[in-house]
Amino acid sequence: MLNKPKVAIIMGSDSDYPVLENCIQVLNEFGVETIAMVSSAHRTPDKTAQFAKEAEEKGFEVIIAAAGKAAHLPGVIAAYTALPVIGLPIKSSMLDGLDSLFSIVQMPTGIPVATVAVNGSENAALLAVQILGVKYPELREKMHEYKKKMQDTVEQKNAKLQEKLGDIKYV
């Protein structure tokens, strides 16, 4: 890849980092340049807005924004940038993350935020790779390979199950 694809991961709190470790790992495995930082929509709103406004000129192509509870971070970032924003709801101690999910998925018209499952950091990374794959054919090819490996793994597990079951067949 001549130009390396670049993703920013923004989390509302450093307590979100354990959820985001897999996200960072997946992006690294696909060869995507990644930065991660803490910025709060509520506690550091100016910093958050400034980052979102400058993200495109800094070469970022997708932003993953993780937040819990009120979870305004993805929407605030989406309000200030034309880049795709993927919202990652974080499971908090309250409502098992449904509060975060609803806050992120219910964006007003004109401020779209793609949303993955609560604590679904790997899917956030994979969605970012698929978005980048539109521009970077190498990433699209790696995604095809990734999906083929998943398919092969399922088929191997099925073969082992069938071997274990022997003549017993379930439909």
The pLDDT-based confidence of 168 (bands split at 50, 70, 90) is confident
Question: By the 8 A CB rule, do 31 and 4 touch?
Answer: yes
Q: What pLDDT sits at residue 146?
A: 98
pLDDT level of residue 171 (50, 70, 90 thresholds): low
Find out whether 76 and 45 touch, Cβ atoms under 8 Å. yes
How sure is the predictor about 48, in pLDDT bands with cuts at 50, 70 and 90? very high
Query: How sure is the predictor about 42, in pLDDT bands with cuts at 50, 70 and 90?
Result: very high
pTM for the model: 0.93
As a dihedral over the C-alpha atoms of residue 7, residue 143, residue 124, residue 63, rounded to 10 degrees, the angle is 20
Residues 67-105: pLDDT tens digits? Answer: 998 899 999 999 999 999 999 999 987 789 999 999 999
Give dist(CA 21, CA 24) in Å, integer: 5
CA dihedral in degrees (122, 27, 76, 119; nearest 10)?
20
Residue 132 has pLDDT above 80, yes or no: yes
Domain limits of the chain?
6-139
Residue 170 is predicted with a pLDDT of 63
Question: So what's the pLDDT on residue 92?
Answer: 84
- The CATH code for residues 6-139 is 3.40.50.1970
Q: Identify the band that residue 169 occupies on the pLDDT scale cut at 50, 70 and 90.
A: low
The dihedral formed by the CA atoms of 138, 141, 143 and 145, expressed in degrees to the nearest 10: -130
**End-to-end CA separation in angstroms for the chain:** 46
Q: What's the mean per-residue pLDDT of the chain? A: 95
More confident residue, 3 or 54: 54
Q: What is the mean pLDDT of residues 95-117?
A: 95
